[in-house]
Chains A and B, each alone.
Chain A
Amino acid sequence: MKNLFLILGLVFSISTVNAQIAATNTGGEVQTVQPKIMVIPYTKEGEDIRTVLEDDVNKRIAITKIKEAFDSRGFTTVDFVARLKASQSNSVFSAANKTDIKAQFIQMSGADVYVETEVSVLNSSNGNSVKIIVTAYEISTGNSLANKVGESGKFYTDDIGKLASKAFGTVADDFLDVMQNKFTEIVNNGKSLIIEFGFAEDSQYNMFSEVGRQGLLLSDELELWMEQNAYKNNYHIQGTSDNLMIFDDVRIPLKDQSTGNNYNPNKFALEIFKFLKTLGMEGKRDIKSNTIFITIK
């Protein structure tokens, strides 16, 4: 009898190991993970992204107006200033070069999309006007999602903030609509990833090593696998050399097609990892935003 209880207890404990904890269980309801969008100021060469906003109230107004537009569609953006301060306190920036700081900040922000905003003030004797250029980029691929130029028109006023607000108001809805069209394209055709295959220094393999049961080249095996597993067979190879193979656009679905759960680059990297094992190879995977780095040992 004691043994029976012991077995039952063991079975029960095993069956509950992978069950979702009660506090987070929603009964299978899945909320799609939304892209993180951050609005940042445009910086010229030599300008420091860390101080450019503090020096110019008009840029702050323009950025706030753009954030308001996203809010009006029920979408919350990542706060640039808060994220910048957090990055500074965490000593994220290592390079002394100011341009690198911008690139580092965008990479480390955790955002999927950033919207760059340029405000240009034109003063003249027959009135002042403001031009605003807004461009949205997908961080992982650098693809442009939407671009618009808004103009306030000429007014006899020194309230540049008001003019900036008016300039963005003329293009705000168009800008968001174009972005939304691109998001719809992502929902339908998958999210874009960059996948880089490289080798550890002491690796016995290179891209032209014959691997697997069929004796195909490693680069061919990788392409065949990608062809089979990229969402809707949508992938593109940037190039292949002895030691490197780069897929600059591999599409993965936003949702796991079998479970309906959210799907992410980490899960796709795991599948690549499993595939390498079937070829008898060991690998190391690093994931930075939407880029997967696979290092074959």
Chain B
Amino acid sequence: MEFIFYFGDVFTPVSFALLLVGTIGGLILGATPGLSPTMAVALLIPFTFQLEAAQGLILLGAAYTSTVAGGAVSAILLKIPGAPANIATTLDGHTMAQKGQGAKALQLSFLSSAVGGIFGVLLLIFLTPVLAQWALAFGPSHLFWLAILGVTVIGSLDSRSVVKGLLSGCIGLWLATIGFDDIMGAQRFIFHPSLGGGINIIAALIGLFAIPQVITMFARGRRNDAAEVIKVEKHPIGGAIRELFRNNRAMGIGTVTGSIIGLIPGVGGQIAGLVAYDQSKKFSPQRDKFGTGHPEGLVAAESANNAMVGPSLVPLLTLSIPGSPTAAVLLGGLLIHGIFPGTDLFDNHPDVAWTFINSMLIGQILMCIFGLYVAGLAARIAMVPQSVMAAVVLGLAVFGSYSVQSSMGDVYVMASLGVMMYFLERFGFSAAPLVLGLILGPIAESNFIQGSMIANATDGMAPYFLGGGLNIFLIAVVIASILYSGYLELRSRRYTSKEEIMA
């Protein structure tokens, strides 16, 4: 309960002004494609040199929470996920925007972000010591099985056909092998110098999602059919809140999945949204509607990716190990003021620690209020004529992929992957499983190699990868997930064949 005493510190004029600046700035940065939360926080670090420790962290904490939520804006309106966390948001969010329900989609995404985010921060406040042990429990063998669990999701994610889903997953897994291998030092598939560092995930995201759209829009030309003009429906905020509570199952699944996965160092943020989306799809009676602009999917994805924010900081704050790239940047923000995370932080600088955590709590609420306020306005983007929109999205795509590492190489990667994806989409493949393969490939590979090196030096491969409670539990979940997907596939096949007979 100690944190309550430090709420006052958040509301001093300077701190609150910084909180507002961080939140609003973070939303704008987050909505800009290519500026991931890590980037946004890193850009703000030099400004904190001049501030006091607590104030600097308020700025960084507010920016972190709101960039994660802001990423949903470009995912919904432009179908460009600003960060891997927002991939699942595009699946239902963008389809809603295309149906003219952009305002509703944005309102729902900000509301579910706030619910998930507040739950995550509360976990950070009350359960940090317990959670720290949980975060350490995941070694290479467990992370390997977790990645395999992710792979089992690939087939069923956003794709009519399981085979095509798996095939695009395989393309993603192959793309992930490109570049210098950090563990063995080998060079793989580097046929152009810009691939030396491997395929940057943000550049790939932008290319795979935005470019096929741009080409489709250009291909339609200047034709302005009446059917093309999207009517943007107004949507009352009260209605969005009621809608959110109607989807309490998705919200619960999203929040819990996001919080648990967010804890695991090195994996969390990237797959939290996708796993939550897949889980709520499997548990939903209306699973056929997922991917067609169904609010349930949007709620699950967005509550998960904000719920992960709080727990993702647990390893950093308690053990001084940054569990995600963004946490590593925040570590820099602490060190510059001579504060070491860990016991030093909570014992000797409780004002800094709790003010920082409180600011994330209040930041979530401010983010939600501000987001709801602009949602109606932002949704009108859908009314921009497609020919203009195509040019704008293309510009943002180039800017976004260049700014990740200030490298033209990433722009080439973005463009070539995008053109490839355009043709793949025409054959019924989709981008989400491909990206999931790209994310999971390195996690599975490096943890398998590391695990096998440790296993060979100690008690052998089989006991290391198959023994232990957590391993067995994860393997059981993997098997359950495969069986369940198989069952669903068979059942839906029977349905289709019945319909076909009727037709």
- A and B assemble together: no
